[in-house]
Amino acid sequence: MTNLYHVFSEHLKAENPLFLNRDQQCEATYGALDSRSAQYAGALLKAGLEPGDRVAVQIEKSYENIYLYCGCLRAGLIYLPLNTAYQASELSHFINDAKPKLFVIDPAASTAHLDQLDHQVQTLTLDQEGFGSLRDWVDASPAHQEIFPSQNHDVAVIVYTSGTTGLPKGAMISHGNLVSNVRTLRSAWGWTEHDVMLHTLPIFHVHGLFVGLHLPLLSNSPVILMASFNADSVIKALPHATVFMGVPTYYTRLLSSGISPKDCANMRLFTSGSAPLLSQTFTDWEQATGTTILERYGMTETGMNTSNPLEGQRKKGTVGPPLPGVECRAVDASGMDVAPGETGDLWVRGENVFHGYWQNAEKTAESFTDQDPVHGFFKTGDLASIDPEGYVTIVGRNKDLIISGGLNVYPKEIELLIDQLDGVLESAVIGLPHPDFGESVCAVIVPTRENDRSEDDIISLLKADIANFKVPKHVFFIPELPRNTMGKVQKNELRTRFSPPITS
Ligand code: MLC
Ligand code: AMP
């Protein structure tokens, strides 16, 4: 059987510390993970959930959140994490589409909007301290020790990811995908029981959930779990850790906070991903800390595809060669491999690649080169070149996507909302260079004649409706959008026009 939790538990050392606090004291062992997750599994099954049912989760990061995740895995339930920043209007699509049997929310969250949905879902609560109606139910339920015999292709997690058109799609990630990727990374990054992971990423995305957690769970190694990233807290905790993972913004913030070689003396590995690491940051980091960041490249749909080596050269500006078992191709418009060093569309294939989009055969078929995802290559939407030594460089994207502080924003979604506002004729949303977030979301608006909207109006209207990270940091007004002869908005022209980089 390939159940991911079964793989974690095969060599489980119950006495090993799992969660360490900042004073290096053990707050929970692997034995506690095993018994608490069995209790979560028991409670969920007692509530009537069956293998294959979806459990949507929009709660803060906590130990109990991780026990819940492992409880879902061991019961064969599909875990569906949601960004805590999403607002009511953004949630309805996920609930209507995935039709979860249970929605775990924060006790402070409003449930009013859930009554309006097509799909009626039961809710239970869990707060950041691990209390709420779900916890009460779990404490009163018998543990369920057996682990569901999931097979390679059985879906373990659905993560929603947007597209350039249409609504977000649920990427179905199987037990086999997760097992293969974590085993590959353990060997590529030399992870052992003695590593201590300083974990500050959110756990509603693949970076923090799969990469940041699965590696320790597979190795029975401890985790210092912080609710969110804060540069000063990280610098204080680093001497007790050996591995840290972050998006590029974490590294630029650590540099601004004066990180030094002394802070990193115990560190074995710093990894970066989810967005491009600027060459400048790579170099500044080496100079400031005496350590070299290992950059890797991944996606929700694929997990990790490439990584700079643990030993050997970590090439600045590249994301390293494909990981063992992963094939990467840079191809031209006809699907032929481009020459080494030339730019093409990046396609990937391997056991790490997901099984398609939830109930969306059409989008699944469009995204693969073959009807069968197992045999075909997945078209990443990224543009890349591969050098003669096999190192991949992500050159750009052929998808209209902005990555701000490691979070993805799809311009179309924001443009549709802006276009509905009074005083707006049309809009184009673009990413502009930003010193902290890498890219920032900016809106270019053509007002109606009777426009009386200001930048602040637009921003506050959007803030009422959508997650803050998607709200434009700046709004520009122009009389007309530049278009090519086909009528397509020339976003490159807008990006050039509204650069040089914005600094606030
Ligand atoms: C918060 N804000 C953001 C933002 N995060 N705005 C743009 N981009 C972001 N990423 C908003 C806040 O709501 C706030 O709005 C204002 O910006 C400033 O907030 P802040 O206090 O500076 O933000 P902070 O809470 O510190 O969060 C920033 C961050 C966080 C970078 C620490 O966003 C983060 O942890 N990002 C990591 C995302 C991640 O895990 N990605 C992995 C995806 S998986 P206001 O209006 O209140 O001022 C993936 C695959 C792979 O991509 O390969 O890994
Ligand atoms: P997500 O949909 O959140 O999984 O984001 C995946 C996208 O993040 C990829 O398609 C890339 O565009 C981008 N990405 C991830 N890692 C890197 C990296 N190291 N360098 C450049 N882009 C990256």
Residue 441 lies in a domain: yes
490, exposed or middle or buried, with CB in 10 Å at 0-12, 13-18, 19+?
Answer: middle
My answer on whether 97 and 144 are in the same domain is yes
My answer on whether 145 and 1 are in the same domain is yes
Sign of dihedral through CA atoms 291, 295, 296, 298?
Answer: positive
My answer on whether 4 and 119 are in the same domain is yes
**Which residue's alpha carbon is at the smallest distance from atom 37 of ligand 1?**
406
Mean pLDDT of the chain: 95
How far is Cα 443 from Cα 457, in angstroms, rounded to an integer?
Answer: 13
Query: Which atom of ligand 1 is nearest to 467's Cα?
Result: 13
Question: Is 204's C-beta closer than 6 angstroms to any atom of ligand 2?
Answer: no
87: domain range? Answer: 1-150
Specify the DSSP class assigned to residue 473.
S
| Position 237 confidence tier, pLDDT thresholds 50, 70, 90 | very high
My answer on whether 367 and 426 are in the same domain is no
CA trace torsion 116, 122, 123, 124 (10° rounding)? 170
Residue 88 lies in a domain: yes
Question: Is 308's C-beta closer than 6 angstroms to any atom of ligand 2?
Answer: no
Question: Is 405's C-beta closer than 6 angstroms to any atom of ligand 2?
Answer: no
Question: Is 319's C-beta closer than 6 angstroms to any atom of ligand 2?
Answer: yes
My answer on whether 470 and 329 are in the same domain is no
Choosing from 173, 274, 278, 399 the residue with most ligand 2 atoms within 8 A of its CB, the one to mutate for a pocket test is 274
My answer on whether 417 and 387 are in the same domain is no
Residue range 376-429, pLDDT digits in tens: 999 999 999 999 999 999 999 988 899 999 999 999 999 999 999 999 999 999
My answer on whether 385 and 406 are in the same domain is no
Among 150, 183, 198, where does a domain finish? Answer: 150
My answer on whether 300 and 439 are in the same domain is no
Residue 279 lies in a domain: no
Asked if the model's pLDDT at residue 348 lies above 50, the reply is yes
Question: Is 408's C-beta closer than 6 angstroms to any atom of ligand 2?
Answer: yes
| Position 165 confidence tier, pLDDT thresholds 50, 70, 90 | low
| Position 450 confidence tier, pLDDT thresholds 50, 70, 90 | confident
Q: Where are the beta strands (DSSP E) in 45-154?
A: 54-58, 78-81, 102-105, 122-125
My answer on whether 26 and 135 are in the same domain is yes
CATH number for position 33: 3.40.50.12780
Query: Which atom of ligand 1 is nearest to 300's Cα?
Result: 50
Question: Is 209's C-beta closer than 6 angstroms to any atom of ligand 2?
Answer: no
Protein residues with CB under 6 Å of any ligand 1 atom:
201-202, 205-208, 229, 247, 249, 273-274, 298-300, 404-407, 437, 468-469
How far is Cα 309 from Cα 313, in angstroms, rounded to an integer?
Answer: 7
CATH number for position 327: 2.30.38.10
Quote the ligand 1 centre to 248 CA distance (angstroms).
11
My answer on whether 316 and 383 are in the same domain is yes
Among 150, 165, 182, where does a domain finish? Answer: 150
Nearest listed ligand to the Cα of residue 84:
1
| Position 164 confidence tier, pLDDT thresholds 50, 70, 90 | low
Nearest listed ligand to the Cα of residue 200:
1
Model's pTM, two decimal places? 0.96
Residue 41 lies in a domain: yes
Contact indicator for 387, 319 with CB cutoff of 8 Å: no
CATH number for position 458: 3.30.300.30
Residue range 289-316, pLDDT digits in tens: 999 999 999 999 999 999 999 999 999 9
My answer on whether 30 and 106 are in the same domain is yes
- Could you give the number of structural domains in the chain? 3
Residue 163 lies in a domain: no
Asked if the model's pLDDT at residue 166 lies above 80, the reply is no
Asked if the model's pLDDT at residue 163 lies above 90, the reply is no
Residue 141 lies in a domain: yes
Residue 181 lies in a domain: no
My answer on whether 36 and 145 are in the same domain is yes
Residue 287 lies in a domain: no
**Which residue's alpha carbon is at the smallest distance from atom 6 of ligand 1?**
469
CB burial readout 223-259, b (16+ within 10 A) else e? bbbbeebebebbbebbebbbbbbbbbbbbbbbbeeeb
Quote the ligand 1 centre to 459 CA distance (angstroms).
17
